[in-house]
Amino acid sequence: MSDQPLNGAVALVTGASSGIGAATARRLAREGAAVALVARRRDRLDQVARDIAGLGGHAAAVEADITEPERAYEAVQETLERFGRLDILVNNAGIMLFNSALHTTVEEWDRMVSLNVTALLHITHAAVPHLIDAAATSPRQVADLVNVSSTAGRVARPGSSAYSLTKFGLNGFAESLRQELLRERVRVSVVEPGTMDTELVNRLGDATRKVARRQGDAIEALRAEDIADAIGYIVTRERRVAVNEMLVRAGDEIW
């Protein structure tokens, strides 16, 4: 339908095979965007693409491990080849491995830095020229770069040291990019979810997963759709409006 706010726009969502990324892809498609779905699990991406097609939207699965620099670059290129432009990048793929510095392994720290920081840098670097081009040439006259950070990007707690490093760092990166790109009308934002009910916690080690589940069970956790709503709100504002930061906690969350 031509009155959808993102009609004609193209979005790339990293980590679109589950959780926040899948919900965001569905949300942006509902707003009229064609969506490139980037992650490693092909079957899950195909399912999200089918859901979107079933609702009359457009989506394409782009299977990629974006910690491989050439795949990060190719994911952007494949989006351009498939849909011809790039108006919205949602840097969402991320991993959270909570553990104390004493008990973690340096490999766990490396995995977080490799996805939450390095892969995000590579995708962003490949995408920025195309976002600038989209802002200059689209009817909306604006493009968006949304970064999914975390409350752990604002408040550090024991066990989250390296994860907080990646998310505090992301907030600084986004603020600098915001200032660099505002004249080009590429809006840069961070969304900072609190405690969520997604698959992220399943990826924790046994001990930390139990602690995280206890914390999560004590409150009503956020759903992926709650963060997709926040992202949908940011990218559908008129070009005169820039929502640069959204902190979305669960209602009962203290930290």
At 243 the three-state DSSP class reads: coil
> What is the nearest approach in angstroms of ligand NDP to the Cβ of residue 41?
3
- Strand ranges inside the chain, DSSP E: 10-14, 34-39, 58-63, 88-91, 143-148, 186-193, 245-248
Residues 186, 144: contact at Cβ < 8 Å? Answer: yes
Task: Give 198 or 236: the residue with its C-beta nearer to ligand NDP.
Answer: 198
Which is it for the CA torsion 57, 62, 67, 69, positive or negative?
A: negative
Q: Which residues between 117 and 176 bind ligand NDP (CB under 6 A)? A: 148, 150
Task: Give 135 or 160: the residue with its C-beta nearer to ligand NDP.
Answer: 160
3-state DSSP of 10-40: EEEEECCCCHHHHHHHHHHHHCCCEEEEEEC
- Determine the distance from the C-alpha atom of residue 251 to the mean position of all C-alpha atoms in its chain, rounded to a whole number: 22
Residue 163 appears among annotated catalytic residues: yes
One residue of 40, 154, 223, 237 binding ligand NDP per CB under 6 A: 40
Q: Does 41 bind ligand NDP (CB under 6 A)?
A: yes
Q: Does 32 bind ligand NDP (CB under 6 A)?
A: no
Burial 104-113 (b: 16+ CB within 10 A, else e): beeebbebbb
Q: Pull the structure tokens for residue 42.
A: 């092909």
One residue of 9, 31, 89, 92 binding ligand NDP per CB under 6 A: 92
* Site size for ligand NDP (CB under 6 A): 29
One residue of 6, 11, 18, 178 binding ligand NDP per CB under 6 A: 18
Q: Which residues between 181 and 240 bind ligand NDP (CB under 6 A)? A: 193, 195-196, 198-200, 224
- Determine the distance from the C-alpha atom of residue 208 to the mean position of all C-alpha atoms in its chain, rounded to a whole number: 24
Q: Does 93 bind ligand NDP (CB under 6 A)?
A: yes
One residue of 9, 52, 60, 94 binding ligand NDP per CB under 6 A: 94
Active site residues: 163
| Contacting residues toward ligand NDP, per CB under 6 A | 14-15, 17-21, 39-41, 44, 65-67, 92-96, 115, 148, 150, 193, 195-196, 198-200, 224
